[in-house]
Amino acid sequence: MNTRTASVNPGPQAAAAASVGRTSNQTSAEARPGGGLRTWAQFLGAGLVWGASFLFIAVALTGLSFTQVAWTRTVLGALTLGIVVLVARPRVAGGPVLPREPIVWLHFLVIGVVGCVVPFLLFSWAQQTVTSSLASILNATTPIMTAIIATLAFRVERLDASRWLGVLVGIAGVVVIIAPWRSELAGSLAGQLAILGATACYGVMFGYTRRFLSGRPIAATTFAFLQVGMGGAVMLLLTPVLAVGPVRLDVAIVLSLAVLGIAGTGLAYVWNIGVIRGWGPTNASTVTYVTPVVGVVLGVVILSEPLTWNEPVGALVVMAGILLAQGRVRMPRREAARA
């Protein structure tokens, strides 16, 4: 397994996925975050923006179609990261700013589609019937999806019994969140499954990245730009299908789209790079626990969304599963039988 993904693939899911399967001696060096006030500010900024992104999607959907919301956030994010790369011109060991091998661009096209285009469309479509708070909770299943797919499909992870238990606990938490015993489930079930499909896409993206891209000398900011940029290029090609249609704009919708695209799909990726460099990938991955809290609070307080008991309870079960799947908490080992 190559854990360099954490240094080249920023984002809330990337940080969480990068720490799945790390051994205890790898994580011990990261036990105490450092990095100073700037790193803390970047961490909180990324957590707040990513947690609020579900609120921004909900507001944007009041004036745009779900395809227009996904198109706008991807294109704005790509433009933002493109400007950052153009100004900073990051390099690794004096190499080129952008990769020159055609196969690398093809790999980025794959993760741009699987990691941006498809999940962004699924999230926007799902939030037509699923509350922003519930969407933020279900998004926290990304590390669980990553552990399953990276292990079974790409074989870039090896999970021991304790981490497999974490996967099972996480799945149980998802069942509690969905609450199949509720009679009114039918209206939002498709949306919840769509969100789980989006987090599964993230799992595929991380497994694919570790398999084909994590060993290449690409600067972290460039990596983020190429992933989102290729997703934005696909969105632009699909403009007649995705972006054409009636639009109703007001100040709230415009601001939501701007923050969602420029900050949530652009600058927050750069902030997360700073956190990974300052704290290491394992500590940076704790943003996974911040985003659902922010999403739930904003959804309930600002949008007056209902919150049933099973959603926070299921979220806590999922978080417990993540702790096990990431190796942060382990089952006690039985002592060897004495002769």
pLDDT tens digits along 108-144:
999 999 999 999 999 999 999 999 999 999 999 998 9
Note the residue count of the chain: 339
pLDDT at 105: 97
pLDDT higher than threshold 80 for residue 337: no
Token look-up 């706008």 returns 72
* Tens-place pLDDT, residues 152-189: 888 877 888 888 898 999 999 999 998 887 756 656 88
B/e letters for 163-193, b = 16+ CB within 10 Å, e = fewer, are: bebbbebbbebbebbbbeeeeeeeebbebbe
| Mean pLDDT along residues 311-332 | 85
pLDDT of residue 7 exceeding 70: no
Q: How confident is the model at residue 15 (pLDDT cuts 50, 70, 90)?
A: very low
| Cα–Cα distance for residue pair 56/74, rounded to 1 Å | 14
pTM of the model: 0.85
Sign of CA dihedral 312, 314, 317, 319: negative
Helix (H, G, I), strand (E, B) or coil at 266: helix
- What 8-state DSSP symbol labels residue 333? P
- What pLDDT is attached to residue 255? 97
pLDDT digits (tens, 9 = 90+) for 275-321: 887 887 667 777 888 999 999 999 999 999 998 899 999 999 999 98
Q: Which residue has the tokens 């999970």?
A: 159
Per DSSP, the three-state class of 294 is helix
Candidate ranges 34-48, 56-70, 145-159, 187-201; pick with highest mean pLDDT: 56-70
Separation between Cα atoms, residue 161 and residue 144, nearest integer Å:
14
Residue 218 has pLDDT above 80, yes or no: yes
Q: What share of the chain is helix, strand, coil (3-state, %, to 5)?
A: 70, 0, 30
Q: Are 268 and 50 in contact (CB under 8 A)?
A: yes
Question: Mean of the per-residue pLDDT values for the chain?
Answer: 85
